[in-house]
Structure 1
């Protein structure tokens, strides 16, 4: 009979998410995870299977949290363009408020792994697809309400928004203040 777990796996995933987000996958060692999570190596492997499996869980947690935060702003009341502007400003403010300037874990993972890891690529593309679908639904709502021209391709506009958000994630890692990101958000929404 094995020993009972002396840690909360959900809290450990949350902590691991912060470690991977700050350092990236490659720079994070199993020992660093053990030290940060304050668990034994055996617990790391028994509970999660290892560094890679814990990374997958941490990335999934991040993706779910990020999508929920953006969706809450997109699905709220009010004019479509203002909801979109609020969601994009929220993303910029969140990243600029982070003293470590970690950027977006999904974007960071896409850059770190590229196409060399199909599982990570699939998770990140899943977030991008779901976010783009939410943008498309909002654009179509705006087209029905007359806020956005119905002659524009909603899917293409949603792809443009997703590309803008990804670029904002990268820019926020080095941008010293909010002015440039604010201009990007406002210009993007005004183009709709």
Structure 2
């Protein structure tokens, strides 16, 4: 008879996600994961499989959480303001310059694993497609409510924002100058006016 699980699976997965997010897949050891999750090796393997399976589960949890967050932000208020809030939050979430930013886990993995891992590449492609769809909806809504003055096709404007997203994430992670990032973001957002 199998012993009942004695830990919170969701919390253990969150701890694994934080570890992978901070260190990346390659630099995260099983010892790192066991320590962060507070599990024995047998419990980790029984609940999640190996390191790769745990990583994919943690990455999917991250992606779902961030997708919901983006959807919520973009659905609030005038569309132009919501899009601006989404991008400003990236800079604000980077902190005050103390600890280095972890950036976006999807962008981190687009660089680390996607070039050689088709499963990760597929997930990231879906992330970008989802972002494009959400931006397209918000821009179309903004064109209707008058908060976005640019009458170019909403999907084309959305693609520009999707293209800018990884660059902003990388600059924030590299501890780019916040004032300069905000000024550049102003220029990007002016394409919506």
Tell me if both proteins adopt one fold, taking TM over 0.5 as the criterion.
yes
Give 1:59 shift: 0.6
C-alpha separation in 1, matches of 2:69 and 2:178: 20
Corresponding position of 2:156: 156
Corresponding position of 2:93: 94
Corresponding position of 1:82: 81
TM-score, length basis structure 1? 0.92
Question: SS at 1:64's partner residue?
Answer: helix
Q: CA RMSD in A?
A: 1.6
CA contact (8 A) 1:144 1:150 kept: no
Corresponding position of 2:115: 115
Unaligned runs of 5+ in 1: none
Give 1:108 shift: 0.3
Give 1:183 shift: 1.5
Question: SS at 2:25's partner residue?
Answer: coil
Question: SS at 1:96's partner residue?
Answer: coil
Unaligned runs of 5+ in 2: none
Give 1:162 shift: 0.9
Further displaced range: 170-179 or 145-154: 145-154
TM-score, length basis structure 2? 0.92
Question: SS at 2:32's partner residue?
Answer: helix
Further displaced range: 20-29 or 146-155: 146-155
Give 1:105 shift: 0.5
C-alpha separation in 1, matches of 2:171 and 2:69: 20
How many residue pairs were aligned?
191
Question: SS at 2:4's partner residue?
Answer: coil
Give 1:68 shift: 1.7
Give 1:124 shift: 1.6
CA contact (8 A) 2:135 2:158 kept: yes
Give 1:150 shift: 6.2
